[in-house]
Amino acid sequence: HYQIIGLMVYTFDGKYLGKIESIIETGDVDVYVIKGEDKSEEYMIPAIKDIIIDINLESNKMVIKPMEF
Tens of pLDDT, residue by residue over 9-36, are 999 999 999 999 999 999 899 999 999 9
Q: Note the pTM of the prediction, 2 decimals.
A: 0.89
Concatenated DSSP letters for 10-64? Answer: EETTS-EEEEEEEEE--SSS-EEEEE-TTSS-EEEEE--TTTEEEEETTTTEEEE
Local structure of 1: helix, strand or coil:
coil
pLDDT band at 40 (very low <50, low <70, confident <90, very high): confident
At residue 69, does pLDDT exceed 60? no
The band of 2, judged by pLDDT with boundaries at 50, 70 and 90, is confident
